[in-house]
Chain A
């Protein structure tokens, strides 16, 4: 019975479902809150446009190391998923 349990597959599915639901809810709530705040007055609307400009001015270079690590981890994870499928 225990031998039939696919631990990694179960974990992957649980993680994907939990993360997706959590991300959608939290991002939605946050976006709604910010949009309501920026639409509340003319001054806040100016602030909203400034925030957008601030986000568009983001440079990737300061996060290059973190992004490289994430890409490396994704590649390792991809390889491991492929190894699982190969074993099956």
Chain B
């Protein structure tokens, strides 16, 4: 489901997304950094996911690469915009120093910040920071403090702060070229092997996708059963609490009665 600006391919993917069930649409939107809810309904979910895809088409790939380099996330230089967007969605870092202006604009747009690209950098940074929810900020600060403490304990006072130059993940160039294959196996054999390889890759990719979808479904079922179990336990505890409260009230009445009697 990569975002591709080319018309035919984009249309095919758009149809594929519209066929996704609600839970998978929520999962897919979540990977792209959207906060989606089941109560929004299929139409609204679809609209938001498509909006996000349109945004990815609009965004400059280099700007997205700037963001992942700033956050030092391991990606390939050839990664698609969607892969980069998925990586960016998991970034919680708020120290925006070192991020280029175009990267900052891309990050702000992906985080749904309401801003004008003509604003000065400080104003955009402020808008991005103010977008962070309060408890998320508290949790981040807490992690920062714990991280700093542990880092001091392990690396000492001066160590561990310097970061080397960012390096992209190596590209996958292990597959032999068509020329090598033809040289090795002849024209028909080489082309046949190349086609078979492409078909194998396609089948493998599809099987992986199916497996991921099954895993997600199982996780969803597990989560719902867990919620049901918690609801049942909470109900039982509430009944115990009500019984105890009634007992306390009657005990108080009885104590009052005994006091008056004596």
Among B229, B244, B259, which residue has its beta carbon within 8 angstroms of that of A87? B259
**Interface residue SS majority, chain B:** helix
- What is the 8 Å Cβ interface bit string for chain B, positions 249-262, against chain A (1 contact, 0 not)? 01111110111011
Q: Is A83 an interface residue (CB 8 A)?
A: yes
Q: Give Cα A9–Cα B247 distance, bound, in whole angstroms.
A: 11
A69-B241, A73-B241 known; A63-B258 Cβ under 8 A: no
Check B248–A77 contact: CB distance below 8 A: yes
- What is the 8 Å Cβ interface bit string for chain B, positions 61-104, against chain A (1 contact, 0 not)? 00000000000000000000000000000000000000000000
Check B243–A19 contact: CB distance below 8 A: yes
A-B contact pairs, 7 of them (CB 8 A): A8-B253, A8-B255, A57-B226, A73-B244, A73-B245, A80-B255, A87-B258
A15-B247, A77-B251 known; A84-B229 Cβ under 8 A: no
Q: Is B178 an interface residue (CB 8 A)?
A: no
* Stretch from B132-140, B196-204, B231-239 contacting the other chain: B231-239
Check B261–A3 contact: CB distance below 8 A: yes
Number of interface residues of A (CB under 8 A): 29
Q: Give Cα A74–Cα B259 distance, bound, in whole angstroms.
A: 22
Q: Is A62 an interface residue (CB 8 A)?
A: yes
**Interface residue SS majority, chain A:** helix
Q: Give Cα A76–Cα B245 distance, bound, in whole angstroms.
A: 9
Check A58–B244 contact: CB distance below 8 A: no
A54-B229, A66-B234 known; A83-B241 Cβ under 8 A: no
Chain A: minimal CB distance from B77 (Å): 42
5 smallest CB-CB distances across A and B, nearest first, come from A8-B254, A80-B251, A73-B244, A66-B237, A7-B254
Q: Give Cα A9–Cα B255 distance, bound, in whole angstroms.
A: 11
Q: Is B214 an interface residue (CB 8 A)?
A: no
Residue of B nearest to A55 (CB): B229
Q: Give Cα A6–Cα B257 distance, bound, in whole angstroms.
A: 9
Chain A: minimal CB distance from B106 (Å): 38
Chain B residues lying within 8 Å of A83, measured Cβ to Cβ, are 255
Check B233–A58 contact: CB distance below 8 A: yes
Residue of B nearest to A9 (CB): B254
